[in-house]
């Protein structure tokens, strides 16, 4: 019998806050080129100095901490094969409806459990209006926020998926649905590969997919060959090209030499701030961040139970620990059998793919041609799509209205996932 979850209170020691302020007050800053436009070079000096000054002198972590502690925070050990029991922090917002659908929300980098906070009140309000209800579980992934640090090599996508799956099982949710973007995309898709009898449907807001081919998806490939891209899709391809050529150096560093980069994050709050701030701006769609919002995000990383550098190791481990079922993270960008899928497309995601590409993430059914006509197609489980004119990488935080609307439509009485979890209709 697994241990029961225990209520958890976030409580950063006073000494840690005082040490942060000392480091900020003693920070040295780089110079920058004499240019009216600094963003092409990275986080601008003026922005970082202003934020660091606010962090040191005005930002009230205790106020932010108290707000986070209004959430239903818990911790419990979760058993992971070859790694033993791992202490996992998670939000568990239960509905009063016994028929509520269990929903696992999985964050990515440089996000955290805080991304779920805007979804919870909207889901609760929708339930009162007669829309589907959900039991929401939002863990801090190992090495993130207030979950345990992993010190043994080899904790890769399989283990992150196992952690989330066993957490849901331990909480009594044998069958459930998922939502995620960024690493939440990769983790929940991996869960669909490994646990298709338990992960019954997934909604994703980072659509990482490849163009269909006549070998893998002949029906979609035919459509792709004769269907021109829309203006929005063409702009999306440009966004993807920008990320590939100008925006992914961080990933290459974190996936190859994370330890070298870790010295900066372990010692310098300004380095951590500049590194993550760049992504919060570059990856969003004009979102009006407040200084306190940004510094709450960064503080969760700085005050992490695992330490302020452990978070980047997911990139290395996911790239260097192949298994038969999950040879690399690209497995998540291939079809996953049986798991019903919802897609949310946003124009300022870090990579934006045409809608037809997204359909390759569904179930693969062989197509064939007879007398020059397509007689069998891809009857995959892409059951819902939303195409949105605004929004970026942190969709649950930027556009919680869209994510909630998608979930309500997917699992509502007119949706194709209505009643998909046995005994839990959401009504």
pTM of the model: 0.94
* pLDDT, block means (10 residues), the chain with 427 residues: 87 98 98 95 98 98 98 98 98 97 98 98 97 98 98 98 98 98 97 96 95 86 89 94 95 97 98 98 98 98 98 97 92 87 97 92 55 44 95 98 98 96 96
Domain containing 228 — which CATH number? 3.40.50.1820
| Predicted pLDDT of residue 376 | 43
pLDDT value of position 216: 80
Residues 154, 317 contacting (CB under 8 angstroms): yes
What gap in Å lies between CA 250 and CA 352, rounded to an integer?
19
Whose structure tokens read 């100008």? 246
What sign results for the dihedral spanned by CA atoms 313, 314, 319, 323?
Answer: positive
> Residue 46 falls within a domain, yes or no?
no
Angle formed at CA 176 by CA 410 and CA 6, multiple of 5 degrees: 130
DSSP-assigned beta bridge partners for residue 322: none
Alpha helices in 140-287 (DSSP H): 157-170, 183-194, 218-226, 231-242, 249-256, 258-267, 269-282
Q: Is the dihedral of CA 8, 13, 18, 22 positive or negative?
A: negative
Indicate whether 19 belongs to any domain.
no
CA atoms of 376 and 143, how far apart (whole Å): 45
Q: CA–CA separation, 20 vs 16, rounded Å? A: 6
Q: How far apart are CA 138 and CA 71, in angstroms?
A: 11
**In terms of residue numbers, what domain contains 208?**
67-248+313-411
State how far the Cα of 141 lies from the Cα of 164, in Å rounded to an integer: 8
Kindly state whether residue 95 falls inside one of the protein's structural domains: yes
**What are 89's strand-pairing partners?**
75
Residue 261 maps to a domain? no
Residue 212 neighbours by CB distance under 10 Å: 22
Tell me the C-alpha to C-alpha distance, in Å, between residue 292 and each of 24, 116, 184.
16, 17, 25
- Beta-ladder partners of 204: 180, 343
Structural domain includes residue 115: yes
pLDDT at 369: 41
Residue 289 lies in a domain: no
Flag whether 85 is in a domain: yes
Q: What is the pLDDT of residue 379?
A: 44
From residue 326, alpha-carbon distances to 134, 190, 192, 219, 321 in Å are 29, 7, 11, 26, 9
Q: Where are the alpha helices (DSSP H) in 117-201?
A: 119-128, 157-170, 183-194
Q: Is residue 425 part of a domain?
A: no
Domain count across the chain = 1
């Amino acid at each position: 019998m697994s241990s029961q979850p225990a209520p958890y209170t976030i409580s950063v020691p006073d000494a840690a806050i005082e040490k942060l302020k000392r480091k900020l007050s003693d920070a040295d800053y780089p110079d920058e080129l004499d240019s009216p436009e600094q963003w092409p070079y990275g986080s601008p000096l003026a922005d970082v100095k202003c934020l660091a000054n606010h962090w040191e002198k005005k930002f009230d972590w205790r106020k932010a901490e108290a707000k986070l502690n209004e959430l239903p925070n818990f911790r419990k050990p979760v058993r992971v094969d070859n790694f033993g029991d791992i202490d996992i922090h998670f939000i568990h917002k239960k509905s009063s409806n016994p028929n509520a659908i269990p929903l696992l929300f999985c964050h990515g980098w440089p996000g955290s459990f805080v991304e779920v906070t805007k979804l919870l009140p909207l889901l609760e309000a929708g339930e009162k209006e007669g829309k589907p209800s959900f039991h929401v579980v939002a863990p801090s992934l190992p090495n993130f926020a207030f979950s345990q640090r992993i010190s043994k090599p080899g904790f890769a996508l399989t283990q992150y998926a196992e952690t989330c799956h066993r957490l849901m099982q331990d909480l009594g949710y044998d069958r459930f649905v998922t939502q995620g973007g960024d690493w939440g995309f990769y983790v929940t898709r991996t869960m669909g590969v490994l646990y298709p009898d338990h992960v019954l449907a997934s909604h994703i807001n980072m659509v990482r997919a490849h163009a269909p081919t006549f070998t893998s998806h002949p029906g979609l490939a035919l459509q792709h060959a004769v269907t021109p891209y829309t203006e929005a899709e063409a702009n999306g391809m440009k966004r993807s090209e920008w990320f590939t050529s100008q925006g992914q150096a961080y990933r290459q560093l974190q996936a190859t030499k994370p330890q070298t980069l870790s010295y900066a994050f372990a010692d310098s709050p300004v380095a951590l701030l500049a590194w993550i701030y760049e992504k919060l701006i570059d990856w969003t769609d004009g979102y009006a961040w407040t200084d306190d919002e940004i510094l709450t995000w960064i503080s969760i990383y700085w005050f992490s139970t695992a330490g302020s550098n452990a978070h980047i190791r997911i990139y290395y481990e996911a790239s260097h620990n192949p298994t038969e079922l999950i040879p690399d993270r690209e497995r998540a960008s291939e079809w996953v059998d049986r798991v019903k899928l919802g897609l949310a497309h946003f124009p300022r995601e870090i990579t934006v793919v045409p809608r037809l590409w997204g359909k390759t993430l569904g179930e693969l059914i062989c197509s064939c041609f007879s007398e020059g006509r397509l007689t069998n197609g891809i009857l995959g489980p892409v059951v819902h799509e939303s195409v949105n004119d605004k929004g970026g990488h942190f969709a649950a935080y930027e556009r919680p209205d869209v994510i909630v609307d998608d979930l309500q439509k997917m699992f509502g009485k007119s949706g194709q996932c209505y009643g998909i979890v046995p005994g839990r209709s959401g009504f």
